[in-house]
Structure 1
Amino acid sequence: MTSSMQSNKSAITLKGSAAIVCDYLNYGINSILYQRGIYPPESFKNDENYGLTLLMTTDDKIKNFLHTTLEQLKGWLVDRTVNKVALVITNVKTMEVMERWDFTVEYEEDTLENPDKVSEKPLNQIKNEIRDVLKQIASSVSYLPLLDCLCSFDIQIYTKSDVELPKEWAEAEPANIKNAQSVQMRAFSTNIHRMETHVIYTNVN
């Protein structure tokens, strides 16, 4: 009986897995906004998670935007209707896309036939995998070109064509980058969702 209770305690459901993915995206996007200088460093505060000190925005508008977006995303991850989330960084003056971070979602095959599937993968192992990706995001500033212009960001979510969008959402054009170069980060998996992270940027050479 005890071992059964312990086993159930460590099981991750589809909803739990979607929450883990969105938690990663919240920390990852905040880290990118800080590392890439989209907002002043003084508008971020330290937050401890995944065994790291991470920078999170203190701006209520950005926090609310990310919260609303990720809550919507969570439902789509449960329904398995999302295949990619993109963080798009744009030059405010020219509207040129300077950089795009692609977070590609894959679904373990048997979850399509068994939506009640749970993952027995230890949460600590998943968090360690996420930590490795977040460390790569933080170190990306060492090779990405300097963004020496005023930039803004937006989030695009790529869904199946039959998904009904909330009324405040709009269809967006793909954010293509000229002379693009790409770097792939490590992936992590909950054994329900698998997420790969890429950064695509303009090759200035």
Structure 2
Amino acid sequence: MAGAQMLNYVEIVDVLCEFFEVAVHFILYHRGVYPADLFETCRKYGIAVKRSRHPDLNSYISEAVAAMKPDMEKGLVKKIHIVILSDKYAALERFTFEIKSLANRSPDPGHQRQGSVSISQLQDHLRAFLMKLATCEGYLSNLPQGITFRIHVEMEEDFVPASMGSEGSAWVPGDEDEIRVSNPSIVPLRTVDMGAIRVQMFVEEAGLHVTSSDDLIA
């Protein structure tokens, strides 16, 4: 778009964090983690999206996204996983947003580093992400009853989230084994390159939907 103002690094992170919050609600609705009547319809990026009406769930999601934002601004967040778990806490599906940031390659966090997208172009990309997510029922198996979910953030190298250990922190140390999908099939969903940040979205589905942690033992 001629003459459009390109977003800088922090502005892109702001928009992405807002998108991640929308995407979590969207995934929970479309994968039936909670009853459909728990969600209301609103509009984002020019399309209808679903958002939970439950205050505690909404707070958990918004606080988790807010907690990861400082680390995203520093380029320290490598992957964001939304993991769907059975009633025995076995990972059935894992939606992953893989983030490649230029900020972690420089001592300067790059707050003024220009991206290659305007706000309008970025919203177009994010709308396409959501539209792809909305079709997931067509290529993923039905999920069992009693499922739940977890948000898991994977950091670059051995960095610890900035809020870890602070009072009221949304984060606790996680174990990769707890969110690993058994014998996964991987479905690539979409990739967008914004210059300063590149985001790839894909979903892993267990080869056979397990219903017990015992089913994960070879």
* Global fold match (TM > 0.5): yes
Instruction: Encode CA deviations 1:104-135: one digit per residue, 9 max, x unaligned.
Output: 00013797365131225222111111111111
Alignment of 1:54-203 (within 5 A): 54-92=49-87, 94-108=88-102, 112=106, 115=110, 116-160=112-156, 161-164=158-161, 165-167=163-165, 168=169, 169-174=171-176, 175-203=179-207
CA contact 1:187–1:197 (8 Å) conserved in 2 = yes
**Structure-1 separation of matches of 2:174 and 2:98:** 17
Runs of 4+ in 1 over 6 A off after TM superposition: none
Distance 1:110 1:67, change over 3 A: closer
CA shift, 1:187, in A, is 1.3
Query: TM-score, normalised to structure 2's length?
Result: 0.83
CA shift, 1:181, in A, is 0.5
**Structure-2 separation of matches of 1:182 and 1:133:** 17
Which has a greater percent of helix? 1
Alignment-mate amino acid for residue 166 of structure 1: M
Query: Residue 12 of structure 1: SS of its match in structure 2?
Result: strand
CA contact 1:86–1:155 (8 Å) conserved in 2 = yes
Residue in structure 2 matched with residue 3 of structure 1 by the alignment = none
CA contact 1:45–1:56 (8 Å) conserved in 2 = yes
Q: Percent identity?
A: 18
In structure 2, stretches of 5+ residues that fail to align are 210-218
Residue in structure 1 matched with residue 213 of structure 2 by the alignment = none
In structure 1, stretches of 5+ residues that fail to align are 1-5
Query: TM-score, normalised to structure 1's length?
Result: 0.88
CA contact 1:187–1:196 (8 Å) conserved in 2 = yes
Superposed CA RMSD in Å reads 2.2
Q: Which moved more, 1:155-164 or 1:46-55?
A: 155-164
